[in-house]
Amino acid sequence: MSSNDELTVPQRELAEAWRRTLPERLRAGDQAEISEDEKHPDTLLVSIQSAGRSDLEFDFTVKYVDSREIDIQLTDVERDGRSVDERTDVMQELIEDYRRHLHECAQALHHFTHA
């Protein structure tokens, strides 16, 4: 199924735009690293380090379904480099919070991705 609303922005430029925009959407002190997924040109790898949350790091893949819509998958949650159970209520709240921030970032970049 082909869509005429495909993402046409080069992945490197998309990652740069996310690096500029996502920190504005996160809580003060949270940090994010964004890199290109070399296997998938429509996907970014996002790692968010929580401020003041005992060294928690959340890893997501952000895949562009089209030029506006993204699909977010949580790939890992770590504390001090070790995987932790993300099924607790506190973790689920943090994950949903970060998912919302990722959607907000994608929305803020609509002008850039929807040429």
How do the domains of the chain map onto residue ranges?
A: 11-113
Report whether pLDDT(2) > 90. no
Report whether pLDDT(106) > 60. yes
pLDDT in tens, 44-78: 999 999 987 578 999 999 999 999 899 999 999 99
User: Which pLDDT value is given to residue 55?
Assistant: 83
Residue 16 CB-half CA count within 13 A? 6
User: How many angstroms separate the most distant Cα atoms in the chain?
Assistant: 45
Instruction: Please state, for a pLDDT cut of 70, what percent of the chain lies above it.
Output: 95
Of 88, 20, 31, which Cα lies nearest the Cα of 57?
Answer: 31
User: Which pLDDT value is given to residue 1?
Assistant: 38
Predicted structure pTM score = 0.92
